[in-house]
DNA sequence: AGTAGTTGTCTATACAAATAAACAAATAAA
DNA sequence: TTTATTTGTTTATTTGTATAGACAACTACT
């Protein structure tokens, strides 16, 4: 089979244009009144209808409003939520500090065997039982983060009911007698959204996500929780403050 | 115009399948011998030819090798490069420590007016002159990072020739009499690759990138460099170590 | 040698996407 | 009001995408 090594193959021209314009709007390069459909068509080297198909999708997404005779206008772009990450990170504090109502729901919870990765982080046997908690975190009424959090059952058997009652992780841990815990490290990667995450975050497949993996320990330094969070790349920005780090 | 709000609209079925399989291979869910084309066709609910079109592209990308009569086999997946980020981050040290030959080339350099964002970071006038340096960083022979770095001209007039001579940023700064600089903070976002970055990083448009923005200051605490780097999400993982942070 | 299972190739058909050329309908400004 | 500009609609044609069925070529195993 003859296959050209073309990046854009298999993606309709109108889709490419829509994606390009969506990015331009998100980055603020396109705002207010947009150029006419005819101008766009010429700029992209396509027929006017192809541009119209692209604009129609963006209009459907609420990024654009077009009026016959007047023109097409870009909606004002929302700013990124700033999310500080450090040894003391907590979801509710972070989002709360940015004066947006936080929220979260438990998507799922399960007991399972520790994977090799997890066993290493917890310093336990590979077949030890762990508790997995899946949370969906919301800000401004739209989903922002999907978190998968693991706990050692031996240490945190009652975490699920405690969370259900307290409504927050920090609260649940306090209820179980843990305080003064801190985050040891955070790993960050960029990944395309998989079908499950795309559904929860209400975004398209392959949308760029920030994937963080982190280990939190007790005040005494014992492993407490291992978490993997996926942040909607378009709505959030993580901030790491290095002041205070050893030189 | 009637437009359904469908995520996958405008993306050919074979492309969606190719993207899905590419992710499966990258995450290790698919390895060694793959299911037959007929099985894939049934699993995805499409014709065998559509699957073949998807496999053909992955084969073109070197992720697959198919042999008539034998079957189709996934290439072994490369591991992510671990990139520690902290107050002392330097590119050559990081990649060097992972025992991979580092490398870098200057893509471009220019003098320009400070943007509002930049002026705030540097604490200077908005129309002050800054020097912009664009670097492409390579590991294992493949591009990994595109960095845009700004310096205040008033403080670092000779940075371009110094870099050209020293071959590294740290070396260039030493040559200009700066040492003991440290990174104050790092912001992290996930963005789709734009046309320029996609070209440099040799990746498809809209590939997830990690975008970091950081401020480095002199030993005395004065702003030294403001940098915006784009990391290829599929090949790298950033690690932030919070030990030593104030509690 | 034979057989089951695999990838590779071919032809034909139906549907979506993109192009082309006009024209209608609304708006803004002269 | 008139004019130019803009988005919206229609019809027709061409190119790409997906399906269907059949068969060839090759491999691994019995």
pLDDT band at B97 (very low <50, low <70, confident <90, very high): very low
Average pLDDT on B205-212 reads 90
Q: B87 by DSSP, 3-state: which?
A: coil
Model pLDDT, residue A5: 57
> Residue A192 and residue B88: Cβ atoms within 8 Å?
no
Q: Is B80 on the interface with A (CB under 8 A)?
A: yes
Q: A245 by DSSP, 3-state: which?
A: coil
Separation of first and last alpha carbons in chain A: 57
Structural domain contains residue B88: yes
**Per-residue pLDDT for B233 more than 70?**
yes
Name the burial class of residue A5, with classes exposed (0-12), middle (13-18) and buried (19+) by CB atoms within 10 angstroms of its CB.
Answer: exposed
Which of A88-92, B10-14, B103-107 is predicted most confidently?
A: B10-14
For residues A106 and A225, membership in a common domain is answered with: yes
Q: What's the CA gap between A145 and A229, in Å, rounded?
A: 7
For residues B85 and B190, membership in a common domain is answered with: yes
Q: Taking each helix axis from N to C terminus, what angle separates A48-60 and A37-44, rounded to the nearest 10 degrees?
A: 110
- Percent of chain B, pLDDT > 90? 36
- CB < 8 Å from A in window 178-207 of B: 180, 182-192, 194, 198, 204-206
Task: Please give the mean pLDDT across all residues of chain B.
Answer: 86
Nucleotide nearest B68, from its CA to each C1': C7
Task: Please give the mean pLDDT across all residues of chain A.
Answer: 85
For residues B157 and B215, membership in a common domain is answered with: yes
Q: Could you count the other beta carbons within 10 Å of the beta carbon of residue B119?
A: 17
Average pLDDT on A82-95 reads 72
Please tell me the least confidently modeled range out of B10-19, B81-90, B139-148.
B81-90
Q: What's the CA gap between B230 and B200, in Å, rounded?
A: 11
Phi (first) and psi of residue A5, to 5 degrees: -80, 65
For residues A134 and A41, membership in a common domain is answered with: no
pLDDT band at B69 (very low <50, low <70, confident <90, very high): confident
For residues A153 and A198, membership in a common domain is answered with: yes
Q: Could you count the other beta carbons within 10 Å of the beta carbon of residue B65?
A: 13
Q: In chain B, what residues touch A82 (CB-CB under 8 Å)?
A: 187
End position of a domain, from candidates B74, B100, B123: B74
For residues B168 and B186, membership in a common domain is answered with: yes
pLDDT digits (tens, 9 = 90+) for B152-190: 999 999 899 998 888 888 889 999 999 889 999 999 999
Which of A30-34, A184-188, B1-5, B79-83 is predicted most confidently?
A: A184-188
Name the burial class of residue B132, with classes exposed (0-12), middle (13-18) and buried (19+) by CB atoms within 10 angstroms of its CB.
Answer: middle
Give distance CA B192 / C1' D19 (Å): 33
- CB < 8 Å from B in window 50-79 of A: 52-53, 56-57, 59-61
Structural domain contains residue A114: yes
Q: Is the CB of B243 under 7 A from strand C?
A: no
Model pLDDT, residue A246: 67
pLDDT band at B215 (very low <50, low <70, confident <90, very high): very high
For residues A120 and A236, membership in a common domain is answered with: yes
**Per-residue pLDDT for B46 more than 60?**
yes
Phi (first) and psi of residue B116, to 5 degrees: -60, -45
pLDDT digits (tens, 9 = 90+) for A43-64: 888 898 889 988 888 888 888 9
For residues B116 and B229, membership in a common domain is answered with: yes
What six digits make up the tokens of A155?
């240490």
Average pLDDT on A198-212 reads 89
Model pLDDT, residue A98: 43
- Exposed e or buried b per residue across A40-57, where buried means at least 16 C-beta atoms within 10 angstroms of its C-beta: bbeebebeeebbbbbbbb
pLDDT band at B236 (very low <50, low <70, confident <90, very high): very high
> Residue A184 and residue B237: Cβ atoms within 8 Å?
no
Torsional sign, CA A118, A119, A124, A127: positive
Average pLDDT on A86-113 reads 68
Model pLDDT, residue B6: 67
Structural domain contains residue A170: yes
Nearest to B10 among A15, A86, A239 (CB): A15
Q: Is the CB of A69 under 7 A from strand C?
A: yes
> Residue B242 and residue A3: Cβ atoms within 8 Å?
no
- CB < 8 Å from B in window 207-236 of A: 208-210, 231, 233, 236
Model pLDDT, residue A140: 80
What six digits make up the tokens of A3?
């296959």
Nearest to A184 among B8, B243, B246 (CB): B243
Structural domain contains residue A133: yes
Q: What's the CA gap between A182 and B243, in Å, rounded?
A: 9
B15, B208, B230, B237: best to mutate for the A interface, most A CBs within 10 A: B208
Please tell me the least confidently modeled range out of A7-16, A170-179, B31-40, B212-221.
A7-16
- Percent of chain B, pLDDT > 70? 90
Catalogue the E-assigned strands of chain B: 64-67, 71-74, 81-85, 102-113, 129-139, 142-152, 182-192, 208-217, 223-232, 236-241
Model pLDDT, residue A100: 43
For C17, which residue's CA is nearest its C1'?
A: A12
**Per-residue pLDDT for A123 more than 60?**
yes
End position of a domain, from candidates B74, B89, B114: B74
CATH code assigned at B62 = 1.10.10.10
To 5 degrees, how large is the angle CA A155–CA A157–CA A162?
Answer: 115
For residues A86 and A56, membership in a common domain is answered with: no
**Per-residue pLDDT for A103 more than 60?**
no
Q: Is B239 on the interface with A (CB under 8 A)?
A: yes
**Could you list the residue range(s) of the whole structural domain that residue B47 is in?**
13-74
pLDDT digits (tens, 9 = 90+) for A5-32: 567 778 888 888 888 999 888 888 888 8
Q: Which residue has the higher pLDDT, B85 or A7?
A: B85
Q: Which residue has the higher pLDDT, A132 or B234?
A: A132
For residues B96 and B209, membership in a common domain is answered with: yes
Q: Could you count the other beta carbons within 10 Å of the beta carbon of residue B105?
A: 11
Model pLDDT, residue B1: 57
Question: How far away is chain A from the Cα of B189, in angstroms, using its nearest Cα?
Answer: 5
pLDDT band at B138 (very low <50, low <70, confident <90, very high): confident
Model pLDDT, residue A120: 93
For residues A104 and A219, membership in a common domain is answered with: yes
Total of domains in chain B: 2
Q: Is the CB of A71 under 7 A from strand D?
A: yes
Partnered with residue B106 across adjacent β-strands are: B135
Structural domain contains residue B132: yes
For residues A160 and A92, membership in a common domain is answered with: yes
Nearest to A237 among B86, B189, B239 (CB): B189
**Per-residue pLDDT for A95 more than 60?**
no
């Amino acid at each position: 089979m003859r296959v050209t090594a073309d990046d854009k193959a298999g993606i309709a021209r109108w889709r490419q244009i829509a994606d390009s314009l969506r990015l331009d709007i998100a980055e603020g390069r396109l705002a207010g009144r947009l150029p006419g459909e005819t101008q766009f068509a010429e700029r992209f080297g396509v027929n006017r209808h192809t541009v119209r198909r692209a604009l129609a999708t963006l209009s459907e997404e609420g990024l654009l409003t077009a009026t016959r005779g007047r023109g097409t206008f870009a909606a004002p772009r929302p700013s990124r939520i700033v999310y500080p990450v450090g040894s003391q990170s907590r979801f509710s504090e972070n989002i709360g500090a940015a004066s947006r109502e936080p929220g979260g729901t438990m998507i799922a919870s399960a007991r399972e065997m520790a994977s090799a990765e997890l066993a290493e982080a917890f310093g336990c046997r590979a077949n030890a039982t762990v508790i997995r908690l899946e949370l969906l975190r919301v800000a401004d009424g739209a989903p922002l983060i999907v978190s998968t959090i693991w706990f050692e059952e031996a240490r945190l058997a009652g975490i699920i009911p405690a969370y259900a009652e307290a409504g927050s992780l920090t609260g649940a841990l306090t209820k179980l007698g843990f305080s003064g815990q801190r985050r040891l490290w955070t790993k960050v990667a960029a990944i395309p959204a998989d079908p499950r995450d795309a559904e929860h975050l209400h975004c398209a497949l392959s949308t760029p996500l920030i994937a963080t993996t982190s280990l939190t320990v007790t005040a005494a330094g014992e492993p407490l929780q291992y978490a993997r969070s996926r942040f909607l790349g378009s709505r959030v920005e993580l901030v790491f403050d290095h002041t205070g780090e050893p030189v």
